[in-house]
Chains A and B, each alone.
Chain A
Amino acid sequence: MSIKAVHLSKSFGEPAIKVLHDLSFEIQAGDFVALTGRSGSGKSTLLYLLGALDFPTSGHVEMGGHDLSAVSERELHRIRNQNVGFVFQFHYLLPELSALENVLTPVRKAVDFGVDVSSFETRGRELLVRFGLEGKEGRLPRHLSGGEQQRVAIARALVMKPKYLFADEPTGALDSANGEVVIRLFEETNSVDGTTVIMVTHDTGFAARARRQIRLVDGRIAEDIVNSAPSGV
């Protein structure tokens, strides 16, 4: 279930400004990849294209062998719901819902796709316990710390047991201790569940803990290296 970028380009605006230039590469299932580069290098844009949130100007993305530009809209939503988990720099939790209810938001939608969700509430609770949030399931996001909020967001991204976890600077709004906790959770998810993790980060230390690093410069791959001894994996 690899992800393949095939001649991927992306432009914005009129006149068009090209942000990504003809990128082709493959990420193997179960890999842990860090996308790095300076601000404006196109790493977040690439992440959203790989994660089926955005569409390329040219080229295409293959997820598990399926060309994302050729699937129906309904199928695209199903992929976002069941195959992909997203973690953003900000937690984007729904403030009206408790921690557990936030975690279970994708599960509510999965019912529409005919998924048997009977076991997912238990999984949601287990994830919160695993992420050190036991006893805080009923709390509203505003009653949680920044680190706790981000852990709830990660639990939400993982509740449907997605094949791919995409993270856009997940530690960017956290202090180093909480950042460390988040990266550990990613490492654990990758190693225990076999989830493919693709993470955009500015932090060289966290990037070094990925199995593979793709560094972008001005929308082109400047470096694509496999970390010989990723510190956390």
Chain B
Amino acid sequence: MSNAMDSRATESNHAQTSAADSVDAAMMATARGGYKSEEEKKREKSYGAVPKKNRYGAREFRDFLSYLLLTILGIIWIMPIVWVFLESFNANPEPYQATFFPTKYSFDNYRLLFTRTDVFNFPRMFVNTLVIACFVCIISVFFVLSVAFCMSRLRFRFRKTFMNVVLILGMFPSIMSVVAVYFILKAMGLTSSGMTIFALILVYSAGAGAGFYVMKGYMDTIPISLDEAARLDGCSTWQVFTRIIIPICRPMIVYQAITAFLSPWLDFVLARTICRTQDTFTVALGLWSMLQKEYIQDWYARFAAGAVCVSIPIALLFMFMQHFYQESMSGATKG
């Protein structure tokens, strides 16, 4: 049981760190860890066995201290989340109220959020973001898989060069190119209000090939003998890719798909530069705008309601991903 929880915890962690554009070098180690559960259980016994030697009183005191610390920290960590949740039901929609938690509760914020669509069309934003997210998810998974496969499995000239170039490109601050991307999209005629969805899909997924490092790290742990066996059976490189490597990479594909799916929900910098009119907004941009000076008086509580609406699907997706990861992890590389 403990093993199951740990792998899940690890997985969700990866989803987020890489969402923050970091190359997760620990992936390999943790991914491999998924399938040596018996060893882990054995070690779990030995790890932390030393305090046993201490006297009982001291140990109980330490236990008490650690529970106290965990409780305090737990409250700090959970408080803002509870606050958003309660604030979304606040009957009084003004910001900066006299009490920390609301005093009266109602469903009005949710009702208004989905019906009063003249200023911020939340349902429209939600659909926009969903459409963008689906396309970005498909395209970037394809890009990442094919680049990672080439980097991990094939040997060709310019392979190292490509990896170094991507590394260097990643060091340029991405914000720097936001304005340039806008001009390029404008030159392509993609900034008119009907085309921004297409533009955002293009922008979010085009660079995905550069984020191959985590996937490559995972592919590097797949035994090369599998490829060789497939080749002796007459598979071409593409067949090795689609029939051998992709099925084994399923857990990482889920992880990659979900991070790609999440990026349009979380990014607001690019969206702010590209979407100039209300009806093209994405959820992140809309929520951000609700807290600007001109709207905050009316939209404060509805912002909280919108935040809860966005968090629920993302949290569900998270849990789903962890389940899937867990299941496929146990079968993949053993077979």
Q: Do A and B bind each other?
A: no
Residues of B within 8 A of A (CB): none
Residues of A within 8 A of B (CB): none
